[in-house]
Structure 1
């Protein structure tokens, strides 16, 4: 994430927090981010310097003016006018980071060889919430190289309970003993 994204995303969060609309703005920001991801040509069009700024901002007004919070529409127009609409994804990340800090939410990514059941996900979520003391949002990934067990990344910390990691640990200990 760039410094520009941190600055603009943080400023947008401050404004939304002041107006007490952080939940709504975050949801709408994520939706718009998804739309931009699905339509990269639209973002390129909005970033095209040969098209006058007024026309590009009109396109944003037409697309989101009736659907999104006025502050968010104006934020998009500002990014467009300044030629930094490409920073929008980073702005969303900073907004979400600040939201999570203020609402005591931790994000975790669990990686396993096969998809976990709903019961397993709930049990893991409960355990992580007790461990962190925060509300945890859990994202699941599958990776066949894990073999068995789980690898969890929680707030930048790796909790590795995979068979591969245990085998690597045993191998290191054996190498230390042999040398």
Structure 2
């Protein structure tokens, strides 16, 4: 299980150093590349997590896979993580770093789940309304989930705005169940 405190400590250190070097965007892009590849190739992540493979061999594997594609700061950071047995934290660190980088620019990415694909205009309208209410430049990431039946669910950090038929049915069902347990009801 990954520790949020460990993730935050490493991310904060990397972010502060990247700010000093004026390399936040480059580091963000490099971490995204690294996290995406590790997510797409679980065997590479397994190598980084394997307790019997030494840190130098793991670092060499990263160098062989990514070569010059990784920003030198990220390559050094990954070596530090691997030397400390924290290779499993890379994806979590990227997510946190990306959120910090966006916040520093006054941006926010929200996840929009929809029962059906949305037109670009609809997505832009959602971004416009959320930008106005949150006072940030909002970018929407769309995911289609037919199980929602109709409507959409918007996730902003830890908050969820559920405007789906599935959500409405679940709320209605909960009200029926809780109402039926009161005295004098069926």
Normalising by structure 2, we get a TM-score of 0.81
SS at structure 2 position matched to 1:66: helix
Q: Find the aligned partners of 1:5 and 1:160 in 2 and give their Cα distance.
A: 29
Indicate the residue corresponding to 1:104 in structure 2: 106
Does the 8 A contact of 2:150 with 2:164 survive in 1? yes
Indicate the residue corresponding to 1:41 in structure 2: 43
1:91 to 2:93 alignment: yes
1:157 to 2:159 alignment: yes
Change (3 A) 1:165 1:85: closer
Q: Find the aligned partners of 1:165 and 1:38 in 2 and give their Cα distance.
A: 31
Change (3 A) 1:75 1:166: same
Q: Find the aligned partners of 2:6 and 2:114 in 1 and give their Cα distance.
A: 35
5+ residue gaps, structure 2, are none
5+ residue gaps, structure 1, are none
> For this pair of structures, how many residues does the alignment match?
177
Indicate the residue corresponding to 2:71 in structure 1: 69
Deviations 1:90-148 (A, max 9, x none): 11122112112212122212222111111111111111111211111211122333222
RMSD after superposition = 2.5
Change (3 A) 1:11 1:143: same
Change (3 A) 1:56 1:133: same
Does the 8 A contact of 1:60 with 1:77 survive in 2? no
Kindly indicate whether structure 1 or structure 2 has the higher relative contact order, using CA contacts under 8 Å at least 6 residues apart: 1
Deviation of 1:71 (Å): 0.9
Does the 8 A contact of 1:9 with 1:91 survive in 2? yes
Normalising by structure 1, we get a TM-score of 0.84
1:125 to 2:127 alignment: yes
Deviations 1:62-83 (A, max 9, x none): 3334222111000111111111
